Amino acid sequence: MVNLMEYIWKLSGSRYDRIEKGVAVIAVGSVERHGDHLPLGTDAMESQFIAEEVAKKIGAHLFPPIWYGSSVSLSRFPGTINVDDDAFKSYSRSVLKEIARNGYKLVVVINGHGGNSSLLKTAAKEAAYETNSTFMMVDWWRDVGKEARQKLFTMPGHAGDDETSAMLYIDEEDVDMEAARDHSPEYMPKVSILSPIVDKYLYPNAVLGGATKGDKNKGKEWIEAVVEDISNEARNLIKVLAKE
C-alpha cells in the first residue's frame, strides 16, 4: 500500500495517471498573528514541513496544504485571516473527500492550528464515512512528541518557546528574535473557555508563553520526535488497512 514519495502538485496528468495511489498526506494551518517575531504563516509552515518529512519516511503522496483556518480568537490582530467555521469545515471536507475519491485509502492530515481541530475532525469523519476511506487526523504539537515537548520546554504556548523553537529550526531566516516578548498570565484555564474577553486576557500581544526562550536545537529535537511518532503511527495503520 505504501508508494514512493511524490509532490502531487508537481506531477503532470499523465504521470499522475501512472502512479499507484495508496497513502496521501496533507497539512492544514492558518494565517494569523504570532506575536511580532514569528511569521504569519507559522502554523501552515510548521505543519507542511512535518507533512513533507512524514511523506518521505512512509513513501506517501504529499498534497498542497490548506493555508487558511479558523482563527477567530486572534482576528483582532492585523495579519490574521479568519475563515468562518462553516466555510472552513465545508472546504476541508470537500478537499479530503476529493483526495479519497482519487483512490487513496489512507489520508494523513497534519493539523498545525488549534482553532481548526474540532472542525477538521468533523470534516474528516464525514469524509471517511461518505467515501469508505480512512483519515488519520493529527494535531502535531499535542498528539505526538509529548515526551520531547515536556522535557524541552518550560513556557510552551502560542508563539511560546516550543513554537518559536520549531520555527527557528524550520525557517530561522523568517524569525525575528529581537522582537520576541514573553507573556505568562496568572490565570491559565484548565478547561475549554470560549470567550472574547478571555482571549484578550490570554493573548494581549498574540503570544502565550516564553517566546524569548526559543532554541533551534530544541526545535530540531522536538520536530524529529514528532515526525517519528506520526510515521510510526501511520505505518501501524497501513498494516491494519492492508489486511482488508
Residue 181: per-residue pLDDT: 97
3-state secondary structure the chain: CCCCCEEHHHCCHHHHHHCCCCEEEEEECCECCECECCCCCHHHHHHHHHHHHHHHHHCCEECCCECCECCHHHCCCCCCEECCHHHHHHHHHHHHHHHHHCCCCEEEEEECCHHHHHHHHHHHHHHHHHHCCEEEEEEHHHHCCHHHHHHHCCCCCCCCHHHHHHHHHHHHHHCCHHHCCCECCCCCCCCCCCCHHHHHHHCCCCCCECHHHCCHHHHHHHHHHHHHHHHHHHHHHHHHHHCC
pLDDT at position 160 is 97
- Whole-number pLDDT of residue 2: 54
> What is the structure's pLDDT at 3?
67
Residues 15 and 1 sit within 8 Å (Cβ to Cβ): no
Residues of the chain with pLDDT under 70: 1-3
Is 171 exposed, middle or buried, given 0-12, 13-18 or 19+ CB atoms closer than 10 A?
A: middle
**Gap between the Cα atoms of 50 and 12, Å rounded:** 25
Q: What is the mean pLDDT of the chain?
A: 96
The pLDDT value recorded for residue 210 is: 97
Predicted confidence at residue 51, as pLDDT, reads 98
pLDDT, residue 244, reads 73
- What domains can be seen in the chain, in order of their start residue? 6-233 (3.40.50.10310)
